[in-house]
Structure 1
């Protein structure tokens, strides 16, 4: 995935590397597996791709085929 428009209107893109949009989020099980690896070269990408809009702080979670699974919105008190 290269880019998308957030619901707030901001354009999100992961075309530059590094970037502030794409987050590396591992489950606890994935993290335990990484700790057992013998080389840093064996580290695998996380199962899901997670993006954060730095304008409204929405979180988007995508599956391995770039299908949107969940959208999280910051609660306002």
Structure 2
């Protein structure tokens, strides 16, 4: 991908390897395919690139070179979270 400017103004880059910007994220379907591979000499690339801005905590999702989504942090009230959780305890 290269370089990207977050909405907060922070410049993001994945040129250095390793880096704290690019997250390696696989869908569960992609992960199942990886688990069926006999040898991990070839590790397929994830379908999406996911970048994290350390300044504002936004997460940016790219498909190829196209920026398709941005997720912004929403703080959770712990009392409210206990009442409205959707995951099994």
When normalised by structure 1's length, the TM-score is 0.93
The separation in 2 between residues aligned to 1:42 and 1:16, in whole angstroms, is 22
5+ residue gaps in structure 2? 77-89
**In the alignment, structure 1 residue 67 sits paired with structure 2 residue 88:** no
Cα displacement string for residues 10-65 of structure 1 (whole angstroms, at most 9, x for unaligned residues): 1100000000000000000000000010111121010000000011110000002x
Q: 3-state SS of the aligned residue for 1:68?
A: strand
The separation in 2 between residues aligned to 1:72 and 1:45, in whole angstroms, is 22
Using CA pairs under 8 Å that are at least 6 residues apart, name the structure with larger relative contact order, 1 or 2: 1
**Number of residues paired by the alignment?**
76
The separation in 2 between residues aligned to 1:14 and 1:43, in whole angstroms, is 19
Tell me what 1:42 maps to: 42
When normalised by structure 2's length, the TM-score is 0.81
Q: CA RMSD in A?
A: 1.0
**In the alignment, structure 1 residue 27 sits paired with structure 2 residue 15:** no
> Which structure would you say has the larger Rg?
2
Query: 4+ runs of 1 displaced by more than 3 Å?
Result: none
The separation in 1 between residues aligned to 2:4 and 2:67, in whole angstroms, is 11
